[in-house]
Chains A and B, each alone.
Chain A
Amino acid sequence: MRLIITTMAIIVAIWLIPFVLSDESGLKFGWPYSVFFTLATLFGGFLFYLLRMPPMGPFTSSRRAIGSVVLVFLVSIGIITLLANVSPQFAFEGAATAGATAEERGKAVFNDPKVGCFLCHTVQGAGGTRGPDLTHIATVAANRKPGMSAQDYLKESLENPGAYVVPSFDNIMPPVAKALSPEAFSDLMTYLKALK
């Protein structure tokens, strides 16, 4: 009984807390997370129920025994399969490595840990803060230097970052272009130019 009440209380809290927290708190989890935490809590409740469940005697017949084994097997496989089916799904299409658009490949370059852009830059809420937020860099780049196009400014930023240092940031960005293959560089440019 106490177990059921505790489990329920935690679940209610999971769904209520986001209402109380403000957006600025930086701790507000979205609803998919609430679903995730609810499932985890239910599982936890089940686990602790199993711990205190009274002992179970032997089966009265082989048929029952085999039936139960099959049941345990199918139910556990079924639950995992179900979880996998309700998790986020990408559409049937090519992998990111081949067949992706230039923009998609460029995004992969940006997020590649070896290249490391995302360690310093944020795009749409995710990434580092040592460099400026790049969510709207295409628009920003067009207006950075008078008479310089977005294309040229972005190229300059990657080839020679020190040429223009964004106010309130340090000149710490490495000349990343050198480390990229021509294809990766052009994909990356396509991606940046799409961040309007």
Chain B
Amino acid sequence: MPPDVPLINDRLVLWVVSELHLLFAAFVLGSPIFIVISEILGVRTRDARFERLARETMRIVAISYSLTALFGAAMTFVLVARYQTLSNFIFQRFYPIFGLYATFIVVETILMYAYLYSWDALERRKSLHISIGVALNVVGTLVMFLMNGVGSFMLTPPSSPDRARLWELVNNATWTGLNLHRFIANIAFGGFMVALFAAFMYLTSRKEEDSAFYDWMGYIGNFIGVAALIALPVAGYIYTKEIFAYNATISTLLMADKLAWFFVIQGTMVGLLFLGAGYYMWLSIQRIKGGPRFRTYFRGVFWVALIGLIIWLVPQNFLPSLTTKPAGPIGEVAIPEKAIFLGLMPAKGLAVSAIILVTAFLYLLYRQAIATGTMTWGRIDTKAQLTLTFLPAMAVYTMTFMGAVRESARGEWHIFQFMADKSAESYLTPLGYAATVSGLITVIFFLLVSGIFWLGFKVGH
């Protein structure tokens, strides 16, 4: 931290409240997607567990909803009070969008409570209840798209932001990419949060019946998380492609300059997510009759994933930025010339694809094993449940951390190459600082979420 900036400053406060707002928002937007699907599956398969999963998750969503609003308000408050020029400009230029946004939020809230509280009343009219759920998702997704328009605008505004038409502001160069990426990421995140909830309940429940249910619920949460996770890199690729096409300075900053090392850390976390999901499947498969016969496959997959991860992460050099002059000979800190291909995009792309492919393969294998063997729910290696708490930890951390990267990509601009950030904290945050703040936000989020689980499901039960 530069000496003239206090430890607790405007940017830090804005950073923390907006990330918390975004995490809760992601949860309340992502979860209803599979809550409704789960309800539909419950009707289709007559398996009562789907219905229970949908209801319990919806209850968590409802409690989280108020926290989303609370942090949203806090974020607006800091923006208006401390970043006046920016917020004035944004609110003025996007005025109709914010009007629409407020309207949709009201509609969404009504739908949300209608969906939650009409569950029993509409027991005999399932299709109506499901329709409310679908409408809730449609409105929720629109709300997100609107705000993505504002968020993506700040990084990739059209050529003259003060004169461009509203649609050009919203439909800017990276709107589609951000929409797609957030949509899929929210589902993955929701899935892992369900897994966390299930693990929490599994580990603290006494009744056989509950253990069996929460074991199953954790399995479904992981299932949703992994499925979305496999699709996520494609969306990430599209999103970065759009950034690259928009302006090469941003891409240099991200990939070759100061933010390059951020991506090594991101890769570590994403790799751990894939490996953790694979490990959960391994533990889960053990209790199926004949499960251990898959050992060789799992070992093979872990080898491929491990080597893939090493190739993905091995850095081009150990310099923090493009302009740093190495202290010693360059050969000490940069990849040697005959191995240079390891540091280049084709090798990385191949490695990531390998990790995704083998995880997808595991997934199929696992489905196969479940379909052919008998699963005894409620009796699973406790490590599996701990893995289910590890996955959300990584998922949340990745999200907060990448949020910091996305904001840093603008450099010293509030609105890229249009409105400079003239505040005292306009500097880029070094990796260690950014990671520490993101880690703290993750911990705060986790504490709040545990509180929700506790209040909603333990106290008074």
Binding site for B on A (CB under 8 A): 23, 25-33, 36-37, 40, 43-44, 47-48, 50-51, 53, 55-59, 62, 65-66, 68-69, 72-74, 76-78, 80-81, 83-100, 103-104, 107-108, 111-115, 124-126
- Given A26-B338, A40-B310, A97-B411, answer yes or no on A108-B390 (Cβ-Cβ < 8 Å): no
**B281 CB to closest chain A CB, in angstroms?**
12
Q: Does B321 contact A (CB under 8 A)?
A: yes
Stretch at the interface among B103-111, B159-167, B435-443: B435-443
CA A94 to CA B321, docked complex, whole Å: 12
User: What 1/0 mask marks residues of chain B from 369 to 413 whose CB sits below 8 Å from any chain A CB?
Assistant: 000000000000111001001100110010000000000100111
Which B residues, 282 to 316, have Cβ-Cβ distances below 8 Å to chain A?
A: 282, 286, 298-299, 302, 306, 309-310, 313-315
- Given A96-B249, A126-B330, answer yes or no on A90-B203 (Cβ-Cβ < 8 Å): no
Evaluate contact between B389 and A92: CB separation under 8 angstroms.
Answer: no
Cross-chain contact of B428 among A53, A72, A95, A113 (Cβ < 8 A): A95
Most buried by B among A44, A55, A77, A78: A77
- Given A27-B339, A28-B331, A57-B382, answer yes or no on A87-B261 (Cβ-Cβ < 8 Å): yes
Evaluate contact between A32 and B412: CB separation under 8 angstroms.
Answer: no
Q: Does B72 contact A (CB under 8 A)?
A: no
Inter-chain contacts of A111 with B (CB < 8 A): 252, 256, 322
Inter-chain contacts of A29 with B (CB < 8 A): 335-336, 339
- Given A72-B390, A96-B411, answer yes or no on A125-B330 (Cβ-Cβ < 8 Å): yes
Inter-chain contacts of A44 with B (CB < 8 A): 306
- A and B contact pairs by CB, cutoff 8 A, 14 listed: A28-B331, A36-B313, A43-B306, A48-B302, A50-B383, A55-B383, A59-B382, A80-B439, A84-B436, A86-B432, A90-B428, A104-B323, A108-B322, A112-B248
Q: Does B368 contact A (CB under 8 A)?
A: no
Q: Does B348 contact A (CB under 8 A)?
A: no
- Given A65-B203, A97-B412, answer yes or no on A114-B443 (Cβ-Cβ < 8 Å): no
Evaluate contact between B393 and A107: CB separation under 8 angstroms.
Answer: no
CB-based nearest A residue for B337 = A26
Inter-chain contacts of B250 with A (CB < 8 A): 97
Shortest 3 CB-CB contacts between residues of A and residues of B: A95-B411, A84-B435, A26-B338
Evaluate contact between B443 and A74: CB separation under 8 angstroms.
Answer: yes
Q: Does B319 contact A (CB under 8 A)?
A: yes
Inter-chain contacts of B264 with A (CB < 8 A): 87
User: What 1/0 mask marks residues of chain B from 326 to 341 whose CB sits below 8 Å from any chain A CB?
Assistant: 0000111111111100
Evaluate contact between B430 and A90: CB separation under 8 angstroms.
Answer: yes
Q: Does B279 contact A (CB under 8 A)?
A: yes
CA A14 to CA B65, docked complex, whole Å: 51
Inter-chain contacts of A103 with B (CB < 8 A): 323
CA A29 to CA B332, docked complex, whole Å: 7
CA A16 to CA B275, docked complex, whole Å: 29
Evaluate contact between B432 and A108: CB separation under 8 angstroms.
Answer: no
Cross-chain contact of B258 among A66, A83, A90 (Cβ < 8 A): A90
Inter-chain contacts of B324 with A (CB < 8 A): 88, 90
Inter-chain contacts of B389 with A (CB < 8 A): 69, 72-73
Q: Does B132 contact A (CB under 8 A)?
A: no
Evaluate contact between B253 and A97: CB separation under 8 angstroms.
Answer: yes
**A112 CB to closest chain B CB, in angstroms?**
5
CA A73 to CA B196, docked complex, whole Å: 11
- Given A65-B203, A125-B330, answer yes or no on A95-B253 (Cβ-Cβ < 8 Å): yes
CB-based nearest B residue for A124 = B330
Cross-chain contact of A94 among B268, B269, B426 (Cβ < 8 A): B426
Binding site for A on B (CB under 8 A): 1-2, 199-200, 203-204, 248-253, 256-258, 261, 264-265, 268-269, 272, 275, 279, 282, 286, 298-299, 302, 306, 309-310, 313-315, 317-324, 330-339, 381-383, 386, 389-390, 393-394, 397, 408, 411-413, 417, 420, 426-432, 434-436, 439, 442-443, 446
Inter-chain contacts of A37 with B (CB < 8 A): 310
Inter-chain contacts of A23 with B (CB < 8 A): 331
Evaluate contact between A72 and B331: CB separation under 8 angstroms.
Answer: no
Evaluate contact between A84 and B248: CB separation under 8 angstroms.
Answer: no
CB-based nearest A residue for B340 = A126
CA A80 to CA B264, docked complex, whole Å: 11
**B335 CB to closest chain A CB, in angstroms?**
7
Inter-chain contacts of A81 with B (CB < 8 A): 435-436, 439
**B78 CB to closest chain A CB, in angstroms?**
22
Evaluate contact between B322 and A107: CB separation under 8 angstroms.
Answer: yes
Q: A44-B306, A56-B383, A88-B320 are in contact. List 16 more A-B contacts (CB 8 A).
A: A26-B338, A31-B332, A32-B332, A33-B335, A81-B436, A87-B261, A88-B319, A90-B430, A92-B429, A94-B411, A97-B411, A97-B417, A99-B412, A108-B252, A112-B248, A124-B330
CA A86 to CA B382, docked complex, whole Å: 33
Inter-chain contacts of B393 with A (CB < 8 A): 72-73, 76-77
Evaluate contact between B412 and A95: CB separation under 8 angstroms.
Answer: yes
Evaluate contact between B322 and A47: CB separation under 8 angstroms.
Answer: no
Evaluate contact between A77 and B397: CB separation under 8 angstroms.
Answer: yes
Cross-chain contact of B265 among A69, A87, A100, A108 (Cβ < 8 A): A87
- Given A69-B386, A77-B443, A108-B252, answer yes or no on A30-B333 (Cβ-Cβ < 8 Å): yes
CA A100 to CA B417, docked complex, whole Å: 14
Cross-chain contact of A50 among B279, B286, B318, B427 (Cβ < 8 A): B279
Evaluate contact between B256 and A88: CB separation under 8 angstroms.
Answer: no
- Given A84-B265, A94-B428, A114-B248, answer yes or no on A108-B257 (Cβ-Cβ < 8 Å): yes
CA A151 to CA B282, docked complex, whole Å: 65
